[in-house]
Every structure is written in structure tokens, then in C-alpha cells.
Amino acid sequence: MNHPATPLKPLTDAQQQALLAAARAAQLKAYAPYSKYSVGASVLDDQGRIHAGCNVENAAYPEGVCAEAAALSAMVLAGSTHARAVLVVGNGGKTHSAWTTPCGGCRQKLRELGAPDMPVQCANDTDLGPRYTLAQLLPESFGPDHLVRTLP
Ligand code: THU
């Protein structure tokens, strides 16, 4: 199956710092002229590599792309379909009261390429926020496993 059943190893401090730096750098590249809400995201893949993305909005508003989706695309392009950890940097927790967490659509996208116990860390440009598992953000999720069929 897509995701190994073994529990994820905890992140090392170096991995956490690298994820944070990559997401913060990505946030600075965000194209968010409409919402003015810049987001950067980073993912750690199963080969220990880090991929980042930023939100890219569009004059046709629904066509905008979230930072997490962009980071996952970069990971797939680099040859991995297994995310091990995610970090999201937004203005939440600072200029807004709530920490920036992945939107509903991105939670499902993360579920496709990450296991339910994958950590999702929130942050802004000065602080770390709460850390969740993907299962906390998307309980009872529908994932790739549901489409595995046994032959008659
Ligand atoms: N956004 C993200 O890129 N990721 C999130 O986790 C939350 C929201 C973007 C979408 C849109 O460009 C802007 O933030 C405001 O919703």
C-alpha cells in the first residue's frame, strides 16, 4: 500500500529547523495580491528531502493554489509520493488570532501522500504554533486504502 503501517519517527531538531526555514522562505515568495494572506509550506519526504511551496492566487479567485498543494507538487516532481511531515507558515497566530492550518481541500491532498499519523506543524514568521497529526485535522478520512479491491 502507499503508506507503511509503521509509526513515523519523530523529527530531528535539524529536520524541524530545515522545514521551518524552507516554509518561511517560501512564504516570502507568495503571490497573494487579493487576500494579502501569504502562506508558505514545506514537506519532508521519505528520502529526507524537503520541498516547499507558496500560495499563488488568481484573478479568477477559485483558481488560486494553496502553499501545501504547491509543496506536494514539488515533492512529486522530485520523485517522491510519500510525505513524512508538513510545516505551514502563515500570518495566523500573529496578525490573526487563529494559527494558519491547512484548508479542507489541502487536508485531503495531504492524506493522499501522507499517513494519518503524519505531523502537521503550524508556525508564523516568529513562532512555532500547535502541532497536529493529519488524523486530528482530517478524522475518519477517506484515502487511497479505500480503493484497494480484493479480487473475487
Ligand atoms: N492558504 C494556503 O495557501 N494554505 C493554507 O493553509 C490556508 C490558506 C491560502 C489560500 C489563499 O491564497 C489565501 O491563503 C487566503 O485564503
Condensed to tens digits (0 to 9), the pLDDT of residues 17-37 reads: 999 999 999 999 999 999 999
Beta strands in 1-152 (DSSP E): 40-45, 50-54, 83-89, 119-123, 128-133
Pairing between β-strand 119-123 and β-strand 50-54 as defined by DSSP bridges: unpaired
- Domain spans of the chain, in order of start: 13-147
Q: What is the pLDDT of residues 47-59, one digit of tens each?
A: 999 999 999 999 9
Question: Mapping DSSP to helix (H, G, I), strand (E, B) and coil, where does residue 52 land?
Answer: strand
What's the average model confidence in pLDDT over 73-83? 98
Angstrom distances, CA of residue 140 to CA of 62, 111, 146: 27, 11, 12
In this structure, the dihedral spanned by the alpha carbons of residues 133, 137, 141 and 142, taken in order and rounded to 10 degrees, is: -100
Pocket of ligand 1 (CB under 6 A): 32, 35, 37, 39, 55, 57, 64, 66-68, 88, 100, 102-103, 106
| Angstrom distance (rounded) from CA 144 to CA 20 | 28
Neighbouring CB atoms inside 10 A of 35's CB total 13
What is the Å distance from ligand 1's center to 67 Cα? 7
From atom 3 of ligand 1, which residue's Cα is the shortest distance away?
66
- Per-residue pLDDT, 149: 75
What is the Å distance from ligand 1's center to 112 Cα? 19
| Angstrom distance (rounded) from CA 55 to CA 41 | 9
- Per-residue pLDDT, 23: 98
Residue 89 has pLDDT above 70, yes or no: yes
Catalytic machinery residues: 68
CATH 3.40.50.360: does it fit domain 13-147? no
Residue 3 has pLDDT above 70, yes or no: no
User: According to DSSP H, which parts of the chain are helical?
Assistant: 13-28, 67-77, 104-113, 134-137
